[in-house]
A and B are shown apart, each in its own frame.
With several copies, the nearest count.
Chain A
């Protein structure tokens, strides 16, 4: 069975997000002052071959913890369909 997983990886809340900070500065340079609190992370789309949904979930979880997310400074969640 082929599943499509969408993985969302964001910096942990208390961790500094330099990219978000610089982008906020960029938005304000553009005059878009009503936008604040910019946080930037990754969105990863993958296809997973697995016998059932549970097996697919386990595989995506393993991929995230082993490579896709740096669990020390990032948190991740994913949807499977």
Chain B
């Protein structure tokens, strides 16, 4: 699998993701530029975390119209793999590739800390072979409060499209473990075709021995 990580103006987790996939997981990774129209033959496209366009207007709203997004959308619609992490997840909802929207955190404050998430979907590449337990993965966002209308929520649950939910360290899904007010403790979803994923927590920040937390590497390893 050839991976591509897109840099938008304001992305700041692109290098972290490239490092995790290349150094920690030994994968071939290409650095893509938002102004280009060429995915350089990548099979799997990452939209990284950060503050594209300063997160102005709405997180990911402006980046969604970068030239490369036409190719990313076409790639996804052809069944190609696309994953948005944090800001990347927001872009995918703005682009309509994923359902719902990421609103301001319930506390209206930016939150950066370790949280626990538990895999849900049995049919999505990133979760289907994961052990059903709590994984400690950090979050860092101001607009991570997942929202969708009740009918869309039902569709997500019926189609096994919820990939992760916030939980406590024992894997129990509780209100206390929900850091930002997300509906149904949702931390990440995928599309109907199970080829486009969105995740608010940052697995690339928990993938290196030097940082004393490797749970994120287990998640990213599912994509290899």
Contacts and interface: CB of A to CB of B under 8 A. Distances in A.
A21 B181 CA distance: 12
Chain A's interface: helix, strand, loop or mixed, by majority?
Answer: helix
Contacts of A18: 54, 56, 103-106, 108, 145, 181
Contacts of B62: 22-23, 25-26, 29, 67
Interface in A4-23: 14-16, 18-19, 21-23
Contact of A68 (B54, B57, B104, B149): B57
A65 interface: no
B213 to A, nearest CB: 29
A15 B65 contact: no
Contacts of B103: 15-16, 18, 73
B147 interface: yes
Contacts of B218: none
29 contacts: A14-B149, A15-B103, A16-B145, A16-B147, A18-B54, A18-B56, A18-B105, A18-B181, A19-B54, A19-B57, A25-B53, A25-B62, A26-B57, A26-B65, A29-B62, A29-B65, A29-B67, A30-B65, A40-B56, A40-B57, A42-B57, A66-B65, A67-B57, A67-B62, A70-B61, A70-B101, A72-B101, A73-B101, A73-B103
